[in-house]
């Protein structure tokens, strides 16, 4: 199969609701502190507060996107909910069952239901094993004998993810990055999981290949009724796959909202800054001079996070209360939870406190688009690719609908794209 085939990323249609299912995963106060040890006696001298109190739910059939800057704890969160890491505190429930501290034996039956796709398709596949062995491994580990045998099932999985079943005996190095990620996806799907946690599933791939893999994940969700938690630092990828999005900052969720609400009207200043750094191609605004918010300063260390609101050292709206009192994540609008004393697009939650901290006056800068253009080049390429693919998908869909209304066959172009996708 060639990786250079036609690409369409289906944007979820407005109003489509996949969030109405039962609660599959429930996370309460989840924490992971990595101890820092020093000296001969390896005494603990501190801890990295990688994940520091997360509360969220994932409903059956939905996709929860998780975004945030590097080091904010996204991967740690993914490893905690798949129980590849032991939480320091809090609770993880899967289908109503407390799995927070289950041991290897207790987790074994659950390993079938919860799977993870890793970021790097190069290091996550054992180079000494054939892809048949790699994709068949979960059956052996779980002692499951699929109908027709493991080989037949692996070949079926290969064709499900768009690879040639004949390549069963080939080694990972014989495949491209996009194809290797498909192998990783096939392995994750082997045991017919309910929840798939994908940690940066496309960030190691070329922009053109990213769209194909995102497209494949989306198709598989439709066909197999999967539930996803998709971790990414790229907001344009998350936008097209998620029903809801959680924005993380220094081990906390600062905003958790329905996708459309988050993009149309972000309420947390950090979300606003993250979004304003993403160029959204809009032909209507081609000649308009726009400005973006550029956050100054580095992300503080998770070893000793700032007091109160952790964002107060970089927030241009920070007041005294932000420094002293941690804002709770509360639902300020239906479908939009925010942790902020002075949210955007909403009534002030601490109206008595109006004096800006000195740091706030220097925290952010409004920068003209052209200045940022260079640094945002990669981001822009991804955004443009995703937007173009989404538009193409919409056009094809609209054409198919028109044709269907006429009672005739779908246009040739639609068929070609679909066939290519199925190959
Ligand atoms: N095993 C570990 N021991 C100590 N610290 C760790 C460990 N794993 C992660 N950390 C720290 O925890 C914090 C969160 O890391 P994590 O990998 O979860 O971030 P991330 O959001 O996935 O970042 P990225 O976008 O770069 O992948 C970081 O400061 C990281 O250095
Ligand atoms: S306004 Fe205050 S509470 Fe809100 S993000 Fe800024 S520092 Fe945090
Ligand atoms: Mg990570």
Nearest CA residue ID for atom 24, ligand 1: 70
Determine the average pLDDT of the residues in 20-44. Answer: 92
Taking the CA of 343 as reference, the closest ligand is 2
Reported as a single tens digit per residue, the pLDDT across 97-110 is: 999 999 888 888 88
Domain limit, last residue, from 218, 241, 261: 261
Q: Which of 248, 271, 296, 312 to mutate to test the pocket of ligand 2 (most atoms within 8 A of CB)?
A: 312
Q: At what angle do helices 412-422 and 377-406 cross, to 10 degrees?
A: 120
Decide if 44 is inside a domain: no
Q: What's the token pair of residue 317?
A: 């709206």
Considering the entire predicted model, what is its pTM?
A: 0.82
Q: 192 pLDDT exceeds 50?
A: yes
At residue 142 the predicted structure's pLDDT band, cuts being 50, 70 and 90, is confident
Tell whether 195 and 288 lie within a shared domain: no
Decide if 420 is inside a domain: no
Count of structural domains within the chain: 2
Tell whether 89 and 196 lie within a shared domain: yes
Taking the CA of 246 as reference, the closest ligand is 1
Tell whether 182 and 325 lie within a shared domain: no
Tell whether 275 and 335 lie within a shared domain: yes
> What whole-number distance in Å separates Cα of residue 215 and Cα of residue 8?
7
Q: Which of 30, 32, 34 to mutate to test the pocket of ligand 1 (most atoms within 8 A of CB)?
A: 34
- Listed range (41-55, 258-272, 393-407) with the worst mean pLDDT: 393-407
Residues 6+ apart with CB under 8 A from 74: 66, 67, 68, 199, 231, 233, 248
Tell whether 154 and 270 lie within a shared domain: no
Tell whether 288 and 241 lie within a shared domain: no
Mean pLDDT of the chain: 82
Tell whether 252 and 130 lie within a shared domain: yes
Q: Give the single-character DSSP code of 267.
A: -
Tell whether 277 and 255 lie within a shared domain: no
Q: 258 pLDDT exceeds 60?
A: yes
Q: 162 pLDDT exceeds 60?
A: yes
Query: Which residue range is the domain that position 167 belongs to?
Result: 23-38+50-261
Tell whether 272 and 214 lie within a shared domain: no
Q: Is 322 in the pocket of ligand 2 (CB under 6 A)?
A: yes
Q: Which of 70, 71, 300, 303 to mutate to test the pocket of ligand 1 (most atoms within 8 A of CB)?
A: 71
Enumerate residues lining ligand 1, CB below 6 A.
34, 48, 50, 68, 70-76, 233, 302
At residue 294 the predicted structure's pLDDT band, cuts being 50, 70 and 90, is confident
Decide if 18 is inside a domain: no
Tell whether 254 and 272 lie within a shared domain: no
Closest ligand 2 atom to Cα of 342: 1
Decide if 71 is inside a domain: yes
Q: Is 279 in the pocket of ligand 2 (CB under 6 A)?
A: no
> What whole-number distance in Å separates Cα of residue 125 and Cα of residue 184?
7
Q: Tell me the CA–centroid distance for residue 70 and ligand 1, in Å.
A: 8
Tell whether 227 and 91 lie within a shared domain: yes
Give percent above pLDDT 90 in the chain: 55
Q: 49 pLDDT exceeds 80?
A: yes
Tell whether 242 and 312 lie within a shared domain: no
Residue pair 100/31 in contact by the 8 Å Cβ criterion? no
At residue 415 the predicted structure's pLDDT band, cuts being 50, 70 and 90, is very low
What is the CATH number for 184? 3.40.50.300
Domain limit, last residue, from 358, 373, 388: 373
Domain limit, last residue, from 336, 351, 373: 373
Q: Tell me the residue ranges of DSSP E strands in 271-376.
A: 291-295, 330-333, 336-338, 364-368
At residue 395 the predicted structure's pLDDT band, cuts being 50, 70 and 90, is low
Q: Tell me the CA–centroid distance for residue 386 and ligand 3, in Å.
A: 22
Decide if 400 is inside a domain: no
- Listed range (25-39, 141-155, 300-314) with the worst mean pLDDT: 141-155
Q: Higher confidence at residue 186 or residue 358?
A: 186
Q: 404 pLDDT exceeds 60?
A: no
Q: Higher confidence at residue 88 or residue 282?
A: 88
Q: Tell me the CA–centroid distance for residue 316 and ligand 2, in Å.
A: 8
């Amino acid at each position: 199969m060639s990786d250079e085939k036609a690409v369409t990323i289906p944007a979820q249609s407005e109003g489509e609701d996949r969030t109405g299912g039962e609660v599959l995963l429930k996370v309460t106060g989840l924490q992971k502190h990595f101890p820092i040890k020093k000296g001969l006696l390896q005494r603990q001298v501190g801890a990295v507060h990688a994940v520091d109190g997360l509360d969220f739910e994932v409903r059956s059939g939905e996709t929860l996107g998780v975004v945030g800057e590097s080091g904010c704890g996204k991967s740690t969160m993914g490893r905690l909910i798949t129980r590849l890491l032991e939480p320091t505190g809090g609770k993880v429930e899967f289908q109503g069952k407390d799995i927070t501290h289950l041991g290897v034996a207790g987790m074994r039956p659950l390993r079938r239901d919860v799977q993870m796709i890793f970021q790097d398709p190069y290091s996550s596949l054992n180079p000494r094993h054939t892809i048949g062995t790699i994709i068949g491994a979960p059956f052996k580990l779980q002692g499951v004998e699929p109908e027709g045998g493991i080989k037949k099932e692996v070949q079926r999985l290969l064709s499900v993810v768009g690879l040639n079943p004949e390549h069963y005996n080939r080694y990972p190095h014989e495949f491209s990055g996009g194809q290797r990620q498909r192998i990783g996806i096939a392995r994750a799907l082997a045991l017919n999981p309910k929840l798939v946690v994908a940690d940066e599933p496309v960030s190691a791939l070329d922009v053109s290949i990213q769209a194909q893999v995102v497209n494949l994940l989306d198709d598989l969700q439709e066909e197999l009724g999967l539930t996803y938690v998709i971790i990414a630092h790229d907001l344009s990828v998350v936008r097209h796959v998620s029903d809801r999005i959680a924005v993380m900052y220094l081990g906390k969720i600062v905003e958790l909202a329905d996708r459309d609400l988050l993009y149309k009207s972000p309420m947390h200043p950090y979300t606003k800054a993250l979004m304003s750094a993403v160029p959204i191609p809009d032909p209507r605004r081609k000649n308009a001079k726009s400005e973006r918010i550029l956050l100054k300063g580095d992300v503080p260390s998770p070893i000793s996070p700032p007091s109160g609101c952790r964002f107060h050292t970089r927030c241009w709206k920070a007041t005294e209360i932000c420094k002293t009192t941690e804002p709770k994540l509360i639902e300020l609008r239906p479908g939009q939870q925010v942790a902020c004393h002075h949210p955007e697009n909403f009534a002030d939650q601490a109206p008595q406190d109006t004096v800006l901290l000195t740091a706030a006056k220097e925290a952010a800068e409004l920068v003209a688009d052209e200045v940022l253009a260079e640094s945002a080049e990669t981001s822009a390429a991804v955004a443009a690719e995703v937007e173009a693919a989404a538009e193409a998908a919409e056009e094809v869909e609209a054409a198919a609908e028109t044709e269907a209304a006429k009672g005739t066959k779908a246009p040739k172009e639609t068929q070609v794209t679909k066939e290519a996708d199925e190959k």
